[in-house]
Structure 1
Amino acid sequence: MKRKIFVRLGRDDVKPAYDAADITIDMIDNFGALDRGLGQLLDRLFKLGAKPSEAAVDLMILAAAVYAADTGVSRERYADDGWTRMIDLNVPVAEAGFWKNQQDHLSQMLKFLTGDHWSFTFRHRPNNFQTFTKQPEKMDLTDFTQVSLFSGGLDSLIGAIDLLASGQRPLLVSHYWDGEASSAQRQLLEVLKERHGDAFESVRAYIGFRKLDFAEAGSDNNQRARSFLFYSLAVVAADAVASTNKVLIPENGLIALNVPMDAHRLGSLSTRTAHPHFIRSMSELVNALGIDVTLENPYRFKTKGEMARECKDRDLLAELAPASMSCSHPAQVRFEGAQPQHCGRCVPCLIRRASLAAGLVETDTTQYFLDDLKGSVLDSKSADGKNIRSFMFAAENLRQNPGRARFLVQKPGPLNHDDLDAYVGVYRRGMEEVSEILRGVRAKHVG
């Protein structure tokens, strides 16, 4: 069943009588300002003396609407096959013609990312919202060398440390909605500020949508479209500052490829948030809109352990690593009577544990809900053992048939043929890293 969503800019932006939209999202607050955290991000950039283009602002508004739909429309309720949804967005933009030319590319890009069918109608913004940018409070004298995503995870922390230790001056861009991500970002940025002072600036965007916004639709917690929003925020920042047009996406190669552990985890069941194909598609969209920004993952050929081992300030990394947040669902352990923390058993947690064991001399002091992997036999039908068992099977299959790696790395999505050998290498090394911490771990069906 298709869900039609009308994105509105203010009360006067009324949908046509023939538009039978199911849901309306208003992006303007009661004071006539851009809402949902988007206006606060622009204000922060203005205070830095930076001014983005209206095309970049359009991208940010669209990405927020896509994120709202992705998190607000229930797969269980509205996907005929239990997964694939049909979502139609009607979005106001400054230059509707530019966006109409990119509809097919945008739809295919988001289908790859979320597994859903997306369609779009673009219309001109209402007259009273023809521009959201304004003259900054001061001249743009920023000297940022790049914009870098800062999620509060271990990879983004290593990326920030490497830039600062190399004498670069990054602008770190963060998105948060849940408390765990916010807490990790805040703690890490405070320490980085103490150590490096004015060597960097940070912009944090609190953007999300509550269940009340989609009372008719239910909700979905997979958040496959979050990276589209996150990348768009960084593009706005890079477009705004005069000193750089480079956006860095710090993500290890194993997670970026995200090869399914087994045949049942195909398509969007395995996330593609930093997959090379999606980053390339995003870059093509941005450039087609006339936005001079490039996106790059500088760690795409490194494992997470290699990132940690080659970090330019390993002492600082060892100190801050426990405060970073890598878990895919840290709040889920509440159902087992614990405070939100790393579960220790999801795929990101396992790769994190393996990387710190391989990359640091110090013992990993991160608090994991499943702290001891070898203390007992783990039930592979339960949360404790499911991903661990899958990892063990995948690693064993790869050991028995190493040539399959060339096929497996291309399964999640297309890769540049010139880089194929490098991706095969990082996949093999990454799987071996995780295998090391799983030696002696017992996981099987219990009962």
Structure 2
Amino acid sequence: MAAAGAPLPRALSAELRWDPPLAAGLAPPRQETRARASWPLPRQEIVFSRGRLISTNFNSRSLLCPPCHCAQVALADAKIAYQADPDKHAGVLAYELVQGNLVQWNSFMDKSIPDPPTAVLLHGILGSGKNWGSFAKRLAQEFPMWQFLLVDLRCHGDSASIKKRGPHTVASTAFDVLKLIGQLRLSPRVLVGHSFGGKVALSMVDQAAKPLARPVRVWVLDATPGKVRSGLDGEDHPAELIDFLRRMPVQVNSKQEVVDALVKAKFSVDVARWVATNLRRSSPSGSRSSPSYSWIFNLNGISEMYKSYEDTNLWRIVENVPRGVHINFLKAERSLHRWALEDLQRIHTAEEVAADEAGGVEMHVLEDAGHWVHADNPDGLFRILSSTFRIETSLRGRE
């Protein structure tokens, strides 16, 4: 994720950045939740310290996480630390849960408190849930009754260490996320997916009526439902980048070694530096041996996922929108994707059909932004997405 102030690559159909604050001077919300595999969590913030449970509140009370009875501590107006038993939660995706400060404690042990409205934020190829961290905090401040689930998709981020059976496709990735929100007992009202994540969101709607709520609003950010049209010649192409990375050694001596190799192979300096942020030191700090670094993602799986992204066609969902589903497409003004005229025409035609079928399809354009919409123009994206959360908050208030 890109260092603050560093330029972001504009010519790669993937999404990963150094995660600079998306709003200068914006303080994080009071409540933010981090977890690995849990269920709806209380209005607190989770903190990790090498997997140990930490509490500074002597009045905390113990709870159990059904059905596996993992230890959990709930604190009143304080922070909690919690990590589920990895053996009992095998295969569950890694995630973060960012909660607004008006989100109340809720679990299926206490149904007197309604479920908080939830949005799921999905990253693109070679990204991670952390790509959405600053943006999710901003949303949580503006909409304090909401919570935002940031998922590390299979083969990416902290989920890369979780063994997933192939094939690694858009559909299997969508199923992973559906399984996660089912285990968390959540019914998301909003799905937001960038690039590859956009097709994952559409596939989630395609695969299951539950645990998705109705109505559900889907945002597909700078991706079309069908054919992926990469940028022009001379631009960095993701398939070529992934293939090059797969041919590199599993371990390297330095991040600069990777940057130099990519630049020599004619990839842009920005993309080379961006890719190097996916390296994690594998030799212990302070070791007498020379430092070594390894990738934090599963490149073989990611290669399959990108091929599926190119091949997957989900136009049927757009042109026959299920009742209660509203699909929003957002095109970046300077997108590296070539949005074909036929794609735009099909989306506009679907808008008219969906309006007659109690569903919805809309097309939006984000000005002054390339493919990395939430980094290039976070203010513009925030304004556009905010309408969805205001509408859903208003509808929920009338339930």
Taking structure 2 as the reference length, what is the TM-score of the superposition? 0.31
- More helix, by proportion: 1
- More strand, by proportion: 2
Taking structure 1 as the reference length, what is the TM-score of the superposition? 0.29
